[in-house]
Amino acid sequence: MNEGKNKNESNLEALEKKAFELASEQKWLFALDKLEEAIKLDKRWYHFFYKAIWLYNSGKQPEAAQVVIYGLNFEKAKEFYFHYLSADFFYRAAWAQAKKIEEIDQSIKNMDLAIKELNTADYLLLKNKKDIEDSRQNIPKEIKDLHPTFLNSEDLTYEVRGLRSKIEMMRQAVLTFKAIIQAENRVNMSIKENRSRIESERKSTIELLGIFTAIFAFIFSGVQIFTRVPLPEALILQGGMALIIIVFFLGIHLVIEPEARTKLLIGIFIILLLVLFGLPFYAKFLGR
């Protein structure tokens, strides 16, 4: 029986060593295959710890998160490692998202989740430090050194504080960056609104100048017409001048304000033009 147990232990050590050698070469998928074989022989907590890291490094973040959740079912001394690992994963995700403007809010959320996980890890380390220290001593040094992680650190408290410091610094930087973007958006919006207002005022000014010019021309020409032309013809000429002014004003309005180009307004403009061109015929008719 002891012989079978020793053989099983020997096979486990060989699989672990091979898995960690592959991981040291960043051959994550091959390393995971060997680790799965080792897990079938004996489910040790650190197998799942490294499995989560290797899955994350191979781009399988959702699967890595599931392994972390499984690892949280271990006793508190080992649960600490998975809370720390969860915080690290949230931090790494937040770091990637912080580089994209559209994902900044999600980055901040992930940093908040990282801090939450780190608070739990910190609490567990405070309450169970001796057991936590002892549990990592059970990992064979030769395989632990093949793929160093924070488990190789001499001081776990220092590692927790270091990760917390990195998260808080990045969070502050991202919040500052977000504030700058929001300020820039407000400035751009203000510039856009000012441009729109200036453009509207420019159009109104042109229209007003056109109206005043037309009114002065109408008054001046009216005086000249009524002093030199008989009344019937003067009325027709003055009506023609009024139509010219109206057509001129509508034309300016349609050119300057594209939104004003409705079917009704364009129709009125065409009718006024037809009436205007028909004035000579009206004058000839009245002169008979």
* pLDDT value of residue 222: 55
CB 27 within 8 A of CB 34: no
Amino acid at site 155 = D
* pLDDT value of residue 251: 66
- Domain map (residue ranges) of the chain: 2-189, 198-286
Amino acid at site 98 = A
The Cα 92–Cα 145 span in angstroms is 23
Whole-number percent of the chain with pLDDT over 90: 24
CB 256 within 8 A of CB 203: yes
pLDDT single digits (tens) 16-68: 889 989 998 999 999 999 999 999 988 888 899 999 999 999 999 999 999 99
Torsions phi, psi for 287 (to 5 deg): -80, -10
* pLDDT value of residue 102: 83
Report the chain's mean pLDDT, rounded to a whole number: 79
Residue listed under structure tokens 């007003």? 208
Closest CA to 256 of 218, 213, 205, 215: 205
Confidence of residue 158 (pLDDT cuts 50, 70, 90): confident
Instruction: Kindly tell me if the per-residue pLDDT of 90 is higher than 90.
Output: yes
Confidence of residue 259 (pLDDT cuts 50, 70, 90): low
**Structure token pair of residue 207:** 């229209």
Instruction: Kindly tell me if the per-residue pLDDT of 284 is higher than 60.
Output: no
Q: DSSP for 182-215, please give it.
A: HHHHHHHHHHHHHHHHHHHHHHHHHHHHHHHHHH
CB 19 within 8 A of CB 35: yes
Half-sphere exposure of 104 (CA within 13 A, CB side): 15
Domain 2-189 fold is 1.25.40
CB 256 within 8 A of CB 224: no
Neighbours of 93 (CB within 10 A): 21
What is the average pLDDT across 211-229? 59
Instruction: Kindly tell me if the per-residue pLDDT of 176 is higher than 60.
Output: yes
**Structure token pair of residue 249:** 């004003």
Instruction: Kindly tell me if the per-residue pLDDT of 287 is higher than 60.
Output: no
The Cα 165–Cα 91 span in angstroms is 11
**Structure token pair of residue 59:** 């781009």
* pLDDT value of residue 214: 61
Question: What predicted TM-score, i.e. pTM, was given to this entire model?
Answer: 0.64
For residues 18 and 147, which has the higher predicted lDDT (pLDDT)? 18
